[in-house]
Amino acid sequence: MPLHADGGTLQKIKENKVITIGHRESSLPFSYYGANQEVVGYSHTFALKIVEAIKSRLDLPDLNVRLMPVTSANRITLVQNGTVDMECGSTTNNAERRKQVAFSNSLFVVSTRFMTRSNSGLLDFPHLAGKTVVTTAGTTSERLLRRMNDDKQMGMNIISAKDHGEAFLTLETGRAVAFMMDDALLYGERAKAKNPQDWMIAGPPVTLEVYACMLRKDDPDFKRLVNAVITRMMLSGEAERIYNKWFTTPIPPKGLNLDFPLSEPMRLLYEDPNDISFDGDGQESHSAGSALAAGKGYQWNWQVLLSKTPSGGTYLDWLWEGLRWTVLLSLSSWCVALLLGIFLGVLRTVNSKPYLVLFAKAYVELFRNVPLLVQLFTWYFVLPELLPDVWGDAIKQWHPLWQQFFAAWLCLSLFTAARIIEQVRTAIESLPPGRKNAGLALGMNLPQVYRFVLLPVALRITLPPLTSEFLNIFKNSAVATTIGLVELSRQAQQLVDYTAQPYEAFISVTVLYLLINVLVMLAMRRLESVVRIPRFTSGGKT
């Protein structure tokens, strides 16, 4: 699908009289929300200056500027497919990305370091061996960390958080001992802490990286304009004033000071603006394999699934891993949900004990009327804080994957149980009251009546609706992607970020979900035919 086969971004902006700028939501102090949810930051200031230059170049003083928040997992795709014209945040310029997009002159030079508690005694990367380290998903720090872990066999547990805020929260709540990220972002996150002095930035600056604005590929006109603005700002000293505003004086939203003095590489950049990326060649690559080069359609490449991942193995292994987590999570939650659901479903029908009925009723209402996502976040973020410190801290010491798994498992179990309760109740209530009375008349007590008379029939009646709940639990397990569990839909997003081949990734994962669905349906149909009571139709309520 050609986006702008003729003319480039500038032409597009001129025709539509609108420019869409991608920004970050919590990349302090580069691009983030200020006190009133307005976008501010060092990189964003450059973006606004560039917009001014575009306005005067195109003679469009009232050009409509649209701001679109992006995440590190979708920013490349959004620039490629034309949703966003330019993204100025904290995107690293590297060779892999230059296959997909173009970069402007550098805005900032950073090095990858880590943040840890001031009293942790962790000063260098080797100290992190065997520890739990958090980083942000889809960033170059994540790749660096994973490569370091594999190459040096450090045995670190690595958590990939959705964004920097979540990563710092993971560090702050003790789920990880260190947060590895670009130093500037670490200073930014530190400023957000309740007590910034509690945290220090450590580790020698090993790798230099540059942040730059991301543009579409093969659009020299637009790139020239952007670069001219950046160069002019740096040479005139304006850039350094902007730097001081964001890095050495108090900034919104809380008026904190990052206290991050101008580094030597930054001083060099301001003296000689350039687009050198410190990762080999600084030139824009024109190699094949880009998903949406200007003027060309989508390039299918199924073989990408067989190519090597940064952590060894192929992307197919990622899908397999995702599938295993999805199945494990769904099955284990199902077992608990079924037991709990039947148990509470029975209580719900014991009318002689009103408080039991009330309890089961309240349970159902509570879990039915709060969105699954909110429940999941509650179990993941809130539960460890509300538990006694000893327990909360114990949970945070677990392997990160198991923390995510535990929260998702608890969430799905309790949520699904609420739905099973209602189905069990409906089934039991659909049985003629004569059955219960007959059982009691035969001298059975109430538990016996349930066990031998009511449940054997009621459970068979519930089988069809239970099948659909069983299917639901597999689908609902996808929500666990939001807390970072590497189940199927998370892997789909990771694949998109790493390979920039979104359709292949999504189609593969969708097919896997369909496959699960078909298998479950076949298995349940089999079960239904095995346990069916001959000549027994529906509930018997005539």
Partner 1 sequence: MSVLEGNYLLANLPALMSGLALTARITLIAVVLGIAWGTVLALARLSQNRILAWFATFYVNLFRSVPLVMVILWFFLIVPQLMHALFGNAVEDIRFTSALVAFSLFEAAYYSEIMRAGILSVSRGQFDAGLALGFTRQETLRIIILPQAFRNMLPLLLTQAVILFQDTSLVYVIGLSDFFGTAHKLGDRDGHLVEMLLLAGLIYFLISFLASQLVARLQKRRIR
- Interface map 20-49 toward partner 1 (x if CB under 8 A): -----xx------x---x------------
Pairing mode of beta strands 132-136, 178-182: parallel
**Token representation of residue 132:** 């739990």
Cβ nearer to partner 1, comparing 370 with 442? 370
The overall longest dimension of the chain from CA atoms, in Å, is 97
Contact residue for partner 1 among 327, 328, 475, 524 (CB under 8 A): 475
Question: In angstroms, what is the minimal distance from the CB of 489 to partner 1?
Answer: 5
Which of positions 378-397 make contact with partner 1 (CB under 8 A)?
A: 378, 381-382, 385-386
Q: How far apart are CA 506 and CA 495, in angstroms?
A: 9
Question: In angstroms, what is the minimal distance from the CB of 311 to partner 1?
Answer: 23
Q: How far apart are CA 161 and CA 164, in angstroms?
A: 7
442 binds partner 1 (CB under 8 A): no
Q: Under a CB-based contact definition with an 8 Å cutoff, are residues 310 and 471 in contact?
A: no
Q: Which amino acid is at 237?
A: G
15 binds partner 1 (CB under 8 A): yes
Contact residue for partner 1 among 72, 263, 481, 499 (CB under 8 A): 481
Please state the φ and ψ torsions of residue 163, each to the nearest 5 degrees: -145, 180
Q: Under a CB-based contact definition with an 8 Å cutoff, are residues 175 and 392 in contact?
A: no
5 binds partner 1 (CB under 8 A): no
**Token representation of residue 241:** 């004033």
Contact residue for partner 1 among 118, 445, 448, 517 (CB under 8 A): 517
248 binds partner 1 (CB under 8 A): no
Q: Under a CB-based contact definition with an 8 Å cutoff, are residues 431 and 457 in contact?
A: yes
78 binds partner 1 (CB under 8 A): yes
69 binds partner 1 (CB under 8 A): yes
330 binds partner 1 (CB under 8 A): no
Contact residue for partner 1 among 278, 359, 377, 406 (CB under 8 A): 377
Contact residue for partner 1 among 369, 537, 538, 542 (CB under 8 A): 369
Give Cα separations from 294 to 81, 197, 507 (angstroms): 9, 48, 24
Q: Which of 419, 463, 457, 407 is nearest to 435 (CA)?
A: 457
Query: What is residue 136's DSSP assignment?
Result: E
Please state the φ and ψ torsions of residue 38, each to the nearest 5 degrees: -95, 150
Q: Which amino acid is at 411?
A: C
Contact residue for partner 1 among 510, 523, 533, 536 (CB under 8 A): 510
Q: Which residues bind partner 1 (CB under 8 A)?
A: 1, 3, 12, 15-16, 18, 25-26, 33, 37, 66, 68-71, 74, 77-78, 81-83, 165-166, 169, 192, 194, 253-254, 365-366, 368-375, 377-378, 381-382, 385-386, 471, 474-479, 481-482, 489, 492-493, 502-503, 506, 509-510, 513-514, 517
